[in-house]
Every structure is written in structure tokens, then in C-alpha cells.
């Protein structure tokens, strides 16, 4: 077991204990132990064998005994017994707005509600009537919330979707079969509704492929193998294609329906036809060895897979050779929007900074929560001063990297920022974000955000729509007005790279950056591992036609510092 898996199990146990309303000190002990293990450079499995677990801060005898059972005996009974006491559908139930641990416990203990389906039936039978924690107005809102959350079933976040696709590709590779992701996975859709795999296959490979799946319920029809959903995920389709038709089928399975329709329409106008198995020009087959050949045949500049969504701007750019060089992960020089254990992060300041250095970054922005975010351990003025001293001291020891002093300041209900001006001016940058009062009207929310954008201390607007993919819908806001105000006030807009957010939506980026807007990719990292979410941010930025020049993260530390000053 690696350290990350051990920490994950500890955090899972902490959450279970919190749900069961066990001692908060015990819950915190497990979380602190997980944090320490994430920061331990030596494999914990080695420390178990050497009897050195007690040397890890926060790992007492009880937790050490649990970890030893996992590592030595593969005994996970502690986790299993705890999970057995939780509702089976706890994760889905928590996606219902207003359903926290306390209300779910009441449903579980009083009505034996385990899942969304159980809750739906309990509502239908009127069983929630009279329950103290469930006022009439809240109960009346539940059916609509249930319908929305149930609509998330069969879908995955990009991180989980790509992981499942990669697992299948590796499984096929172990049997000598070449495969690659296509469809939504290749376009890096933020939500994956179907996993498509393109498989290089000759006639005699078909049985070998079916055998390698180990899936008795897989169905083969023509050249497609359909693997039924598992663990709440989407259907997976394997497209079996001979080598000579790979490029064409890669094109056809990658683009959205709208993009492929546009290509076929353009082909028809010039006397060509894009079929499922071949391309013809004036009735004669055309040989293609790569996707680039097909775009060239149509008089188009090559379009990267990520942007093939069917927007008018795609072919308009390709017709005029105006597709820019898009942002790449290698362009990234620094990371912004990162939390430490001073607020709700699980890794220390030194760990986060060294994690950034290990990833080749030349600068990092530290931005813990502001004091109004009490639920996330927000920093009061004294804690801010203490952290700034820690940053200065650490910066003196690590001259290879620049550490910027920032804050994620809550946008209060009236649009003002947390902290008075004399505190805000101490930061190198201020990330303004909304974490409360999300039920405002569209007009009120827009006015609130615009006021924050006009604040001279605001540097970046974070996760501007507040969405949590497959969990929470965006709040009502006029994003056109918000982005226009960001341009006027020279405020960067964050592309929050956490797979649950990926907010700003890529559909809004093209127009914004074309007008000179700056995108700041923030992993919203709460641990060292969270820094790696930058990859998802780059994926989504590419979908929005973001170039290196339009991304704050590609600048060196000196340029970033100057930009922070809005000079």
C-alpha cells in the first residue's frame, strides 16, 4: 500500500466517524494522521516493517494498529465494519442541497433510508411529515433536488472517466491489443457520459478481445463491443477497427455529432463524402493515413481533439488558418490558489511549496481561506500575520521558488471582501470567491460579484459560477456581465482545475480571452497531490481556445508580480 491509499482510508474512516457523531477529537486525530502520512517521504509500509510508525506525528497506538492490519495482513475489517454502519447511498444523499449528516442520520435511524430511491419513496408516502429536522418548505423542495441528483447517475467526472478508460486500455495491452481513448475522453469533456475506446483489431482478434474483458455481459454487435455500466459509471464501447481505417474512425468517434455533421456538410459541398469506412472525392476513394490528411482534404487547418465540439468558431478558424497554438502543460511555470493546513488543507506550507518545486514550478501562490469562512478554518488577522512570517522565512531557505502571499477572500453578501483595506493590502494577490448565500436572484448575485470585481484589491475571481459537477448546479448569475466587468477592471478569471469544478466553463473562455481576458488556472489544491489537478485545468483551457499568452500561469515570477500590481 502506498502512502496516498493509507491516507485515503484514514480520511474515509474520519468521515464515517463524523457521520456517526463520534468524538470530534477522534475524527480530527484520524485526519491529522492522514495529513502526516501524506507528508511522510518514506513509504509507510516500510516503516510498518521496521516498527517505526510511532515516529509519524499524530499516529498513536490505535491508528498505528489499524494501519499495521492494512499493510501486514490486508485486513480492512475496521473500514468495512465502519462503512457497514453508514447508509449505502451516503455519497448520493449528500449531494442533495440541505441534507447534511444530521438530517441523513435522522432519515437513516427513523425511516431506514439508505439511498435516494428510499428517500423518494419516503417522500411519496408522506413519511417526512412531522420530522423535526424537516420543515415543510424543505420537504417540498426535495422532489426537484432528487430528480436533479438522480440525473447524475451513469456519468463520471473527467478524472474518473479517464481513469476507467486508461484501465481498459492497459487491460487490452496486457493481451497484446492496441487501443486508445476516443469520444468524450479524447475531447476531455468535463463530464463523461460514455467511454469510447478505439481498438486496432483484425478478424482473428475479436475473440481474444472478448476474452480479455472478463465481462460476461459484454455484447458485440457489428464492430462494437458494449460493456454494461459498473459502479454507477457510464456504458463503455469498444470500436473494433482494422489498421487501415484507424485514422478515419478516430476522427469520426472523436468529434461531437455537431462537429462531424459540419465536416460532412463541408465535404459534400466540395464533392466529397465522409463515410463510416472510407472517404471519397468525386466518387473515388481517398487514402488517408492521419486525421491531418482529412482536414487538409477539406481545406481546413488541423483542429486539436479537445475543440471538436461543433461550435461555429471551430471551422471558421480552421478555414482561415487561425487556429492558435493552444496552452500545453509544459507551458505552466507556476500554480495559484493553493491551501495549507492553516485553513482547510491537509498539507503544510513547506510541503506545498516543495511539492510545487518537484513539479518544476518556479512560483506558487498560497491562498488560504479568509476569516468569514469559519467552517474552513479561515484565517483571522493574527493568523494572516503568522503565515506571512512563515512564508518569508521559508522563502529565505528556498530561493529557487517564489512564494506569493495570497488569500481566498469570501465575497460577502453585499459584495464587499472579507477584511478591511489595511489587511487586504498586505497580500500579493487576492482571490475573490463565493461560498455562501448562493440562493440569491440572478440580478442580486450579478450585482454582488460586480461589486467585488470593482474592489481595487481583487486580483482573481475564483470558481465564478459556484458549480460542483454532478453535485451542485451553478448559482444564477449573468456571466456575460461578470466577464465584461472582469475585463474592465483587469481581473483574471479562474479556471478552477479541481475535477469537481472546472469552472470557468470552457464555453465562456473563447470570447473572454479573445477580448484580452486572462485565465488563471488554480488547482484549488488542499494537499500536495492536489497540485496535479493542474493537468485537468490545461485540458479544459484547451477546449476554450486558451493560448499560453492568455494564461497567467505561463508567466515567470517577475511578470506575475507586476501583473498583481495591475500596472
Ordered by start, the domain boundaries in the chain are 3-83, 90-150, 152-241, 253-319, 329-564
Over the chain, what is the mean pLDDT?
94
Q: Domain 329-564 adopts which CATH fold?
A: TIM Barrel (3.20.20)
pLDDT range class, residue 203, cuts 50, 70, 90: low
pTM (two decimals): 0.89
Q: Per-residue pLDDT averaged across 138-145, rounded?
A: 94
Q: Per-residue pLDDT averaged across 71-91, rounded?
A: 93
* Secondary structure string (H, E, C) spanning 432-493: EECCCCCCCCHHHHHHHHHHHHCCCCCCEECCCCCCECCCECCCCCCHHHHHHHHHHCCCEE
CATH 1.10.510.10 fits 3-83, yes or no: no
Nearest to 3 by CA among 31, 52, 37, 51: 37
Cα 98 to chain centroid distance, Å, stands at: 23
**pLDDT greater than 80 at residue 13:** yes
Q: Per-residue pLDDT averaged across 43-48, rounded?
A: 92
Note the pLDDT of residue 130. Answer: 87
pLDDT range class, residue 38, cuts 50, 70, 90: confident
Q: Per-residue pLDDT averaged across 432-451, rounded?
A: 96
- All 3 cell numbers of residue 83? 462503512
Task: Quote the CA–CA distance of 489 and 371 in Å, as a whole number.
Answer: 25
**pLDDT greater than 60 at residue 567:** no
Q: What does the pLDDT look like over 333-350, one tens digit per residue?
A: 999 999 999 999 989 999
How far CA 335 is from CA of 36, 54, 424, 560, in Å, comes to 23, 34, 21, 11
**pLDDT greater than 80 at residue 212:** no
Q: Would 3-83 and 90-150 be classified into the same CATH topology? A: yes
Q: What CATH class does 152-241 carry?
A: alpha beta
Note the pLDDT of residue 88. Answer: 93
pLDDT range class, residue 219, cuts 50, 70, 90: confident
- All 3 cell numbers of residue 417? 471582501
pLDDT range class, residue 218, cuts 50, 70, 90: confident
Task: Quote the CA–CA distance of 209 and 31 in Å, as a whole number.
Answer: 43
The fraction of the chain above a pLDDT of 90, given in percent, is: 86
Cα 232 to chain centroid distance, Å, stands at: 18
Q: What CATH class does 90-150 carry?
A: mainly alpha
Q: Per-residue pLDDT averaged across 549-557, rounded?
A: 98
**pLDDT greater than 90 at residue 40:** no
Q: Domain 253-319 adopts which CATH fold?
A: Beta Polymerase; domain 3 (3.30.210)
Amino acid at each position: 500500500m502506498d502512502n496516498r491509499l493509507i491516507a485515503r482510508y484514514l480520511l474515509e474512516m474520519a468521515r464515517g466517524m463524523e457521520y456517526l457523531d463520534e468524538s470530534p477529537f477522534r475524527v480530527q486525530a484520524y485526519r491529522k494522521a492522514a495529513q502526516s502520512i501524506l507528508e511522510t517521504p518514506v513509504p509507510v509500509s516500510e516503516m510498518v516493517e521496521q516498527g517505526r510508525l510511532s515516529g509519524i506525528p499524530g499516529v498513536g497506538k490505535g491508528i498505528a494498529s489499524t494501519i499495521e492490519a492494512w499493510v501486514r495482513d490486508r485486513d480492512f475489517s475496521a473500514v468495512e465494519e465502519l462503512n457497514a454502519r453508514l447508509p449505502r447511498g451516503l455519497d448520493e444523499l449528500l449531494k442533495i442541497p440541505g441534507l447534511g449528516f444530521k438530517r441523513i442520520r435522522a432519515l437513516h435511524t427513523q425511516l431506514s433510508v439508505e439511498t435516494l430511491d428510499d428517500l423518494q419513496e419516503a417522500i411519496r408516502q408522506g413519511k417526512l411529515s412531522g420530522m423535526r429536522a424537516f420543515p415543510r418548505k424543505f420537504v417540498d423542495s426535495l422532489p426537484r433536488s432528487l430528480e436533479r441528483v438522480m440525473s447524475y447517475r451513469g456519468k463520471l467526472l473527467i478524472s474518473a472517466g479517464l481513469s476507467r478508460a486508461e484501465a481498459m486500455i492497459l487491460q487490452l495491452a496486457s493481451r497484446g491489443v492496441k487501443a486508445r481513448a476516443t469520444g468524450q475522453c479524447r475531447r476531455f469533456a468535463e463530464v463523461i457520459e460514455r467511454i469510447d475506446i478505439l481498438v486496432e483489431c483484425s478478424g482473428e482478434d475479436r475473440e481474444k478481445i472478448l476474452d480479455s474483458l472478463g465481462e460476461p455481459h459484454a455484447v458485440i454487435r457489428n464492430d462494437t463491443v458494449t460493456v454494461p455500466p459498473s459502479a454507477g459509471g457510464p456504458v463503455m464501447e469498444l470500436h473494433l477497427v482494422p489498421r487501415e481505417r484507424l485514422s478515419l474512425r478516430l476522427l469520426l468517434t472523436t468529434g461531437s455529432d455537431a462537429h462531424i455533421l459540419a465536416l460532412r456538410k463541408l465535404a459534400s459541398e466540395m464533392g466529397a463524402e465522409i463515410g463510416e469506412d472510407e472517404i471519397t472525392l468525386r466518387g473515388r476513394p481517398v487514402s488517408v493515413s492521419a486525421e491531418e490528411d482529412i482536414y487538409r482534404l477539406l481545406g481546413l487547418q488541423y483542429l486539436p481533439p479537445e475543440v471538436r465540439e461543433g461550435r461555429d468558431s471551430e471551422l471558421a478558424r480552421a478555414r482561415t488558418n487561425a487556429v492558435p497554438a493552444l496552452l500545453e502543460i509544459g507551458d505552466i511555470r507556476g500554480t495559484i490558489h493553493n491551501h495549507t493546513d492553516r485553513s482547510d488543507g491537509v498539507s503544510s506550507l513547506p510541503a506545498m511549496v516543495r511539492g510545487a518545486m518537484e513539479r518544476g514550478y518556479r512560483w506558487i501562490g498560497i491562498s488560504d481561506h479568509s476569516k468569514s469562512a469559519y467552517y474552513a478554518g479561515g484565517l483571522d488577522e493574527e493568523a494572516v500575520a503568522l503565515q506571512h512570517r512563515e512564508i518569508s522565512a521559508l522563502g529565505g531557505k528556498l530561493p529557487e521558488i517564489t512564494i506569493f502571499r495570497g488569500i481566498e477572500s469570501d465575497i460577502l453578501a453585499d459584495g464587499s471582501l472579507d477584511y478591511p483595506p489595511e489587511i487586504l493590502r498586505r497580500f500579493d494577490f487576492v482571490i475573490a470567491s463565493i461560498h455562501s448565500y448562493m440562493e440569491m436572484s440572478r440580478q442580486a448575485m450579478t450585482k454582488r460579484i460586480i461589486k467585488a470585481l470593482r474592489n481595487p484589491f481583487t486580483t482573481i475571481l475564483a470558481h465564478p459560477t459556484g458549480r460542483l459537477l454532478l453535485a451542485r448546479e451553478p448559482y444564477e448569475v449573468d456571466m456575460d456581465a461578470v466577464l465584461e466587468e472582469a475585463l474592465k477592471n483587469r481581473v483574471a478569471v479562474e479556471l478552477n482545475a479541481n475535477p469537481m469544478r472546472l469552472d470557468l466553463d470552457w464555453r465562456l473562455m473563447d470570447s473572454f480571452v479573445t477580448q484580452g481576458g486572462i485565465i488563471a488556472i488554480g488547482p484549488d489544491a488542499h494537499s500536495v497531490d492536489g497540485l496535479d489537478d493542474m493537468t485537468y485545468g490545461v485540458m479544459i483551457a484547451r477546449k476554450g481556445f486558451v493560448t499560453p499568452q492568455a494564461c497567467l500561469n505561463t508567466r515567470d515570477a517577475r511578470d506575475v508580480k507586476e501583473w498583481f500590481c495591475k500596472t
